[in-house]
Structure 1
């Protein structure tokens, strides 16, 4: 496929700015002492502002004082309250406690080598403290080049040091609030050309932290109001392996040396944060990052069971939800990130978040592990939209631009454009509720379209009205693991451009067992469809008839013009996909192009709705797909179950009644010391005829199938004995349907687990037993 670049490449777009940068560098270099000039990192065009209106050149309207810094002509013995009496070093500012409304103004075109800015104090509502620029509107942003001169966050033995975590940025704020930071350039590495591969180096651009151990008793643990804008951060290097700490260009992080259980509830978070119009290049690990870093939150004692009895590892951070520790009211928009070491925009532990119009050009460039381009985990009530991610790695694990991560509640990905990501489109983990991906465009994300799923969910996931354009000869699979909970695929376009290879849908037998497909379009350029293609009675196999040539997809337009890429894949008026979809409330209110839903007799298939036919302003789902599936009568549903052994953990939720509650998200488990055979007896209440039994084991990221052999037995009331009518020695696993034993009539059914898989240490745990009469 050949991308259509609707604008010149970023480097060419900035050619003029680069020329101005060269002139500015020569002028500034003439003013900088020789020792500093030789250590300054390479200056890129992004740092130059042409005829900038620096905030420091305008009056302070908050009633605070202005303090000026000039790295060349300033004097630390001066008053600092005018350009003529400017301070010289950042150390002078670091020794000052600023008041609400004050501004710390750095002179444009100046450099502060080997220095870190950590001003003290907090602003107040309506009167934040600002770090900004003043001076020549033709000069570049003031530049803090910290060159790695920051403390290590770790002690000599590798454990985290509560005194120094969070002090690793070029700009640092700790237990402070009401701050605005804008119009500065930052770097924090001594030699980015030499990649750091080992050690405990943590180097940030801007690090904003809450240190729970250093808050005074009764102090406010919620830090309010932060604005970070028009900042250029580049050249941050760190080891290319996980140090159990996050770092990057802009970090918001909560630190504590003890377990989260030792801190209070309802606090320890950030609120009212806006990070926008920034540029990040060549940084480790992240461009933008929100996270908790309790030092004792990754062991077995940090995990917990949820209300349904499901276990969450500590790193899944269910405790953020149960203790209401979410950061909240966060906006991240209009940022550009290029050549990021790990996940570019890695967000966690946040709710009421909007992430939009961000562009990621290359991620996982140096980090030797898994991550994704832009994603939220352990978050809630948030939306990612109008973002563009490309240039991702060829990574077997994750590596996708997007990720429906663990422990997300009500998280939506919509109107996003990803292209040329070798690992695929969307990672998908589980342990979440109401995950939605709708009206997104994916082009040439040849890897796995929906990757992983390592745990069941609390409620169904919806993939609706997405357009996937891929090369079947290069695509690994549509799905590589096994869907463990209900997933709905509605109104999507699967467009395979390969003329030699049909779409490979899955790797594992039964992978689509919980997936329901309806009203999707399956187009194969070669004309032959895969035998793996899912059943979709309402689906089509037609050419969508896109407005543009799928081979000439749009790149280089810039994220602010992202709808040009979507419009390329809008449907022509004569497309057979117009009005060929089905309505569902999870479609939302509009398409990628902003067209209201919907026009005509039904929604269109794909990411763009045509304005053909009368508009339906308040659609009603009078044909719920949820009522079409699973409508067979389960003869065991709700019937009493007696187990010979039950595990006492998970607050007593691992009981046998979970086997007949109709939910794959709940489970029964045997005690660790259970003796085989382990019996599960279902009381059907009366003689019941059946010829099919469904069994399902529970698995997650750390739990494998455990049953090797089992017997199915009926109760013989006349003799008072159990009679075996079917046996298996090939395991249960997921979605095992046992038939071939004819019709059995009995009032009681026994599932006798007679042996475990030899390589498994623990006893069985099952989610469901269902009984049917075909």
Structure 2
């Protein structure tokens, strides 16, 4: 018990009394999984089940069994121990954690805390590292009925900041109840941790950072020639609760389990191919009432905020420093990481935030309430600037109604080959998936979303390297409560294939978008559209092969399955499998991005074509090796002839940056992912000329400005001009004063015949600082 207070409830009490969020509009069927359900009968029943039992999985404390790694066991007993004792047996145990902190342990050693004991106002930071096959272990010994040993640090950790707000290399990373810094080969299990002086009083200001387990690489403190790659960490059966700190982003993340890389200088001042973690498993842990995160893995905090921290990639695409393309180009990814079977509730910011990691699997994690004390950008479970990783079989619910991200999932900046599959989200008021850009081969397939009544696919602030695929997801929502399917404007190609859009509202049809032209780069094929009202939205996308029928789910969508635990997530998903008489059977379209199996583990596919939605039925012949003989990538777009395509283009001003890739040639290449930009010192008017090579007749000119997270539309006024051979000068035939923005089709000027077209940018939006940048100029002759 804290002096003058009461001890937080034990792990089992917190887990069993958690309150799940109420539904916003749909009636939630809070159900338990009956034996009949396990036999295949999905029958909802009764009130919500309790949260998963979080008692230690082991039948005995590891410290009660022999040390099989050849090291020495050291015992710590907060009541009967003595720091002047040998510490190598339960009867000669040490008393304080300070004694362990003053000891350099050797490979194979175990640091064993007595079950049921408590250490208040102390922090555990053992020195030394293990080795391959001989890790150092922190665990428990004693009476297995006594409960986990409990370290209650009570906020007694140093600030990681100097007085001027910059990171302090001497103290950064020393903010956990358990701390490891520039150490490796550790296993931590069967302990309880808290780190707060008064959780009921919310900290809103100050330089407080408090972690449960803080593992760091501090690049500034590594001796010359020292290993900068930290290997082998196992964190399991740990209960972390009541970590308090300001619910604001301080350029240092903190949380229940926290792995971070620190460096006070610019990232270019450090070597490549190092400064990362590898071989990490974080599993079977419980987190409750923690700031900012339950799990935060491997965020690199080298200085990347200055004007010079950004970089151009090989194609000329610019990344701000904070987008962390440099993690990829310098191979600073952590790797070979597993995060699974963790439970988190009442998390201040994003529950499971992952970054700068490749070859990561994140599965069977359950998040019950995130962004509970933080109102800015973050999501429930997501990977930032990662690669070659999969998030699957996770359940996230209880998210807030957030204007910014706030969604359970996020296809974040600078991800390469990242897949979200077989995940279940429900009752998240901000929506389903945030979507940023500057990424490649992002895939979200066979996911189930119920009552995520915000924005289903939120944002898109930059173009991507390659198309994104949303395939075979099932979305069940209330159109009267849904904000939009998409709220911004897709900037590059996105494929929606074999998804179910199921609107339960009997009064409002689906609101598909907020901005005109929002879906211009979205390709919809073989999706199912159901409106309970019977009225389809005028915004609904064109999808000739998309059935507009009731899918005929196995279960009632209003009685969706919750409360059964994430380990039974397939039972919840099976509620939305298709009945054998469903019109969506064999109504889908094959594409390699579907993968090889559905949410329920069924092979893809049987019959004449895949099903629409998250579950494949075993009806018809099994197609063992599917072949995509009708690629969605070959779908025709605007079939009009672009008269400006590949025609020579010149500009009165061109930006010299991006390795010379911002030239006017990009305006007529037909690729919306490339762009032209004017030099920083350009003066208006700025002219863009296209030479058709011969007299050409057109009656529409299409213009598109480039935008991303830091680039707004910039043009306020412009003129369209034709070259007059007779006078040897330019003649204006159309002008606008309300800007360009995205997808502006200028018409109404009749038919113009000329050998050259000029777009004269004559004025800038008053609030914009930088010069304009455009992606496309096209010309069409519609004959109208």
Class of the TM-score when normalised by the shorter of the 2 chains: over 0.9
The alpha-carbon deviation at position 347 of structure 1 amounts to 0.6
Q: Which residue of 2 aligns with 1:352?
A: 359
Matched, 1:594 2:620: no
Q: Which residue of 2 aligns with 1:159?
A: 166
Find the partner of 2:287 among 263, 271, 280. 280
1:308-345 CA-partner distances (Å, limit 9, x unpaired): 33332221111111111111111100000010000000
The alpha-carbon deviation at position 12 of structure 1 amounts to 4.3
Q: In 1, distance between residues paired with 2:280 and 2:560?
A: 35
Matched, 1:146 2:145: no
Q: Which residue of 2 aligns with 1:740?
A: 748
What is the CA RMSD across the aligned residues, in angstroms? Answer: 1.7
Matched, 1:755 2:760: no
SS at match of 1:301: coil
The alpha-carbon deviation at position 275 of structure 1 amounts to 0.4
Matched, 1:670 2:678: yes
Q: Which residue of 2 aligns with 1:5?
A: 31
Q: In 2, distance between residues paired with 1:115 and 1:390?
A: 34
Is the contact made by 2:312 and 2:319 (CA closer than 8 Å) also made in structure 1? yes
The alpha-carbon deviation at position 722 of structure 1 amounts to 2.8
Matched, 1:368 2:375: yes
SS at match of 2:757: strand
Is the contact made by 2:82 and 2:93 (CA closer than 8 Å) also made in structure 1? yes
Q: Which residue of 1 aligns with 2:139?
A: 132
Q: Which residue of 2 aligns with 1:321?
A: 328
Greater shift after overlay, 630-639 or 134-143?
Answer: 630-639
The alpha-carbon deviation at position 503 of structure 1 amounts to 0.9
Q: Which residue of 2 aligns with 1:21?
A: none
1:453-490 CA-partner distances (Å, limit 9, x unpaired): 11111111111110000111111111111111111111
Is the contact made by 1:308 and 1:666 (CA closer than 8 Å) also made in structure 2? no
Matched, 1:626 2:633: yes
Aligned in 2, Cα 1:12/1:451: closer, same or farther, shift over 3 Å? Answer: closer
Aligned in 2, Cα 1:137/1:9: closer, same or farther, shift over 3 Å? Answer: farther
Matched, 1:258 2:268: no
Q: In 1, distance between residues paired with 2:373 and 2:451?
A: 22
The alpha-carbon deviation at position 9 of structure 1 amounts to 7.6
Q: Which residue of 1 aligns with 2:652?
A: 644
Q: Which residue of 2 aligns with 1:308?
A: 315
Greater shift after overlay, 425-434 or 659-668?
Answer: 659-668
Q: In 2, distance between residues paired with 1:210 and 1:699?
A: 36
Q: In 1, distance between residues paired with 2:105 and 2:647?
A: 68
Structure 2: runs of 5 or more not aligned = 1-26, 34-45
The alpha-carbon deviation at position 114 of structure 1 amounts to 1.1
The alpha-carbon deviation at position 11 of structure 1 amounts to 7.9
Is the contact made by 1:246 and 1:291 (CA closer than 8 Å) also made in structure 2? no
Q: In 2, distance between residues paired with 1:757 and 1:194?
A: 46
Find the partner of 1:699 among 686, 704, 707. 707
Q: In 1, distance between residues paired with 2:151 and 2:510?
A: 51
Q: Which residue of 1 aligns with 2:392?
A: 385
The alpha-carbon deviation at position 63 of structure 1 amounts to 1.2
Q: In 1, distance between residues paired with 2:466 and 2:721?
A: 33
Q: Which residue of 1 aligns with 2:91?
A: 84
Greater shift after overlay, 245-254 or 671-680?
Answer: 671-680
Find the partner of 1:473 among 465, 469, 480. 480
Matched, 1:456 2:463: yes
Q: In 1, distance between residues paired with 2:715 and 2:678?
A: 12
Is the contact made by 2:377 and 2:404 (CA closer than 8 Å) also made in structure 1? yes
1:173-204 CA-partner distances (Å, limit 9, x unpaired): 00011111111111111121222121111110
Structure 1: runs of 5 or more not aligned = 18-45
Q: In 2, distance between residues paired with 1:744 and 1:308?
A: 36
Find the partner of 2:698 among 649, 666, 690. 690
The alpha-carbon deviation at position 442 of structure 1 amounts to 0.3
The alpha-carbon deviation at position 49 of structure 1 amounts to 4.3
TM-score with structure 2 setting the length:
0.92
Matched, 1:712 2:738: no
Q: In 2, distance between residues paired with 1:65 and 1:757?
A: 71
Greater shift after overlay, 544-553 or 299-308?
Answer: 299-308
Is the contact made by 1:50 and 1:139 (CA closer than 8 Å) also made in structure 2? no
Aligned in 2, Cα 1:463/1:13: closer, same or farther, shift over 3 Å? Answer: closer
Q: In 2, distance between residues paired with 1:685 and 1:222?
A: 59
Is the contact made by 2:677 and 2:774 (CA closer than 8 Å) also made in structure 1? yes
The alpha-carbon deviation at position 142 of structure 1 amounts to 1.0
Q: Which residue of 1 aligns with 2:591?
A: 584
Q: Which residue of 1 aligns with 2:563?
A: 556
Q: In 1, distance between residues paired with 2:635 and 2:700?
A: 20
The alpha-carbon deviation at position 300 of structure 1 amounts to 2.1
Is the contact made by 1:388 and 1:418 (CA closer than 8 Å) also made in structure 2? yes
Is the contact made by 2:446 and 2:599 (CA closer than 8 Å) also made in structure 1? yes
Aligned in 2, Cα 1:188/1:9: closer, same or farther, shift over 3 Å? Answer: farther
Find the partner of 1:211 among 211, 218, 225. 218
The alpha-carbon deviation at position 103 of structure 1 amounts to 1.0
1:218-260 CA-partner distances (Å, limit 9, x unpaired): 1111111111011110110001222221000000000111111
The alpha-carbon deviation at position 373 of structure 1 amounts to 0.3
Aligned in 2, Cα 1:51/1:569: closer, same or farther, shift over 3 Å? Answer: closer
Q: Which residue of 1 aligns with 2:24?
A: none
SS at match of 2:328: helix
1:695-741 CA-partner distances (Å, limit 9, x unpaired): 11011122111112222233344553333333323221111122334
Matched, 1:424 2:431: yes
Q: In 2, distance between residues paired with 1:549 and 1:9?
A: 17
Find the partner of 2:662 among 648, 654, 659. 654
The alpha-carbon deviation at position 745 of structure 1 amounts to 3.8
Q: In 1, distance between residues paired with 2:770 and 2:50?
A: 60
Q: In 2, distance between residues paired with 1:368 and 1:746?
A: 55
Is the contact made by 2:375 and 2:402 (CA closer than 8 Å) also made in structure 1? no
Q: Which residue of 1 aligns with 2:523?
A: 516
The alpha-carbon deviation at position 50 of structure 1 amounts to 8.5
Aligned length: 743
SS at match of 2:126: coil
SS at match of 1:566: helix
Q: In 2, distance between residues paired with 1:50 and 1:584?
A: 41
Aligned in 2, Cα 1:213/1:409: closer, same or farther, shift over 3 Å? Answer: same
Q: In 2, distance between residues paired with 1:167 and 1:751?
A: 58
1:402-441 CA-partner distances (Å, limit 9, x unpaired): 0111111111111000000111111111111111111000
Q: In 2, distance between residues paired with 1:365 and 1:629?
A: 45
The alpha-carbon deviation at position 82 of structure 1 amounts to 1.3
Q: In 1, distance between residues paired with 2:305 and 2:355?
A: 15
Greater shift after overlay, 298-307 or 556-565?
Answer: 298-307
Q: Which residue of 1 aligns with 2:502?
A: 495
1:74-101 CA-partner distances (Å, limit 9, x unpaired): 1111111111111111111111111111
Is the contact made by 2:703 and 2:742 (CA closer than 8 Å) also made in structure 1? yes
- Please give the residue correspondences for 1:529-568 in structure 2 after superposition, counting only pairs within 5 Å: 529-568=536-575
1:556-589 CA-partner distances (Å, limit 9, x unpaired): 0100000011100000000001111111111111
Find the partner of 2:614 among 607, 615, 622. 607
